[in-house]
Amino acid sequence: MNYSFYKYQGTGNDFVIFDNRDGMLDRIATGSPEATEIIRSLCDRRFGIGADGLMLLNRHPGYDFEMKYYNADGRESTMCGNGGRCLVRFAHDLGLVQTEYRFLAIDGPHEATVDFDGTVALKMQDVSEVRQNGNDFVLNTGSPHFVHFTTEVLKKDIARIGREIRNSAPFAKEGINVNFVEQGPDSDEITVRTYERGVEDETLSCGTGVTAAALVSAHHENGFNHVDVKTLGGHLSVEYEKHGSNYTNIWLIGPAVRVFEGTIEIK
Ligand SMILES: N[C@H](CCC[C@H](N)C(=O)O)C(=O)O
């Protein structure tokens, strides 16, 4: 059977999206080996459409929609910040034009807005637990993140070093996303590169990773904070309130763009 799909990218983090409000693709959401292989093959950059992840836009009572997210390895994942932003843009492009969206994801409800210039702002879950060990931090912004501050981040072999940390003893079982962060000249500007779990490679940006890096960057005073983030795929910003070790009202802000659409046969 042929299905319409849509390809979106948010600062180079790219996704295959299906409008599954009719439930016709529930069969690939079962987590079975066959369903996992279908999603993996759709994300394959040589034999499929190619993407860092795949999303289903589902109906859900009480929300504008439900987001189901799968990493490129075909397995359902924890929250995807850039994916959430792209799914809101997709809903907007489908004609669900609203000033504010409220959808359900694996880590709970999210609010989002689409500005006149197409910028999508996504509210992330609150964060209250940050573990620090020297220049390294571990926190969960909807997905688990290891954040390492370094210099000359653009010269680093992220795929190799990121893979080593992701597969190291503390993280091997569940996996973790690994972010390398360089503090900019200004305290409210950082550059972030990310090795993503489930893609098992560097992606051009990672929304929950950028959020994690911003929360623990140099520019964190109590009260409101705005951090500008450079990634290989483009610019994002993160705004949040900090009160001691509690981070609330966290927003991930940036572009979300439709690249192309098509149809594909899914047996
Ligand atoms: N690979 C991540 C999920 C997607 C995160 C990323 N694409 C984002 O924008 O947050 C994980 O397995 O935790």
- Phi and psi at residue 214, in whole multiples of 5°? -65, -40
Q: Is 246 annotated as a binding residue?
A: no
Cα of first residue to Cα of last residue in the chain, in angstroms, is: 6
Q: Is 135 annotated as a binding residue?
A: no
CA distance 122 to 88: 9
Q: How many Å lie between the centroid of ligand 1 and the Cα of residue 63?
A: 22
Whether 84 is in the pocket of ligand 1, judged by its Cβ within 6 Å, is no
Residue 253 reports pLDDT greater than 90: yes
Q: Does domain 130-252 have CATH number 3.40.50.720?
A: no
CATH, range 2-124+256-265? 3.10.310.10
Over range 55-83, report the average pLDDT: 98
Q: How far is CA 186 from CA 65, 71, 84, 158, 189, in A?
A: 39, 34, 29, 24, 6
Catalytic-role residue among 35, 43, 54, 80: 80
- Nearest Cα neighbor of 225 from 182, 190, 188, 253 is 188
- Nearest Cα neighbor of 156 from 184, 191, 193 is 193
- Nearest Cα neighbor of 85 from 58, 103, 99 is 103
> Which residues touch 228 (CB under 8 Å, ≥6 apart)?
184, 188, 189, 190, 235, 237
Q: Would you state the pLDDT for residue 192?
A: 98
ipTM over 0.90: yes
Task: Show me where the domains of the chain are located.
Answer: 2-124+256-265, 130-252
- Which pLDDT band, with edges at 50, 70 and 90, does 89 fall under? very high
Classify the phi-psi angles of 156: left when phi > 0, otherwise alpha if psi is within -120 to 50, otherwise beta.
Answer: beta
Q: How many Å lie between the centroid of ligand 1 and the Cα of residue 79?
A: 6
Ligand 1: which atom is nearest the Cα of residue 78?
13
User: Mean pLDDT score of the chain, rounded to an integer?
Assistant: 97
pLDDT tens string 95-119: 999 989 999 999 999 999 999 999 9
pLDDT tens string 150-203: 999 999 999 999 999 999 999 999 999 999 999 998 889 999 999 999 999 999
E strands in the chain: 2-10, 13-19, 53-58, 65-71, 101-105, 108-114, 120-124, 130-133, 136-140, 144-149, 177-183, 189-196, 201-203, 223-231, 234-243, 246-254, 257-265
Q: How far is CA 4 from CA 128, 181, 266, in A?
A: 40, 38, 10
Please give the share of the chain, as a percent, with pLDDT higher than 70.
100
Over range 21-28, report the average pLDDT: 98
Q: Would you state the pLDDT for residue 219?
A: 65
- Which pLDDT band, with edges at 50, 70 and 90, does 82 fall under? very high
Q: How many Å lie between the centroid of ligand 1 and the Cα of residue 14?
A: 11
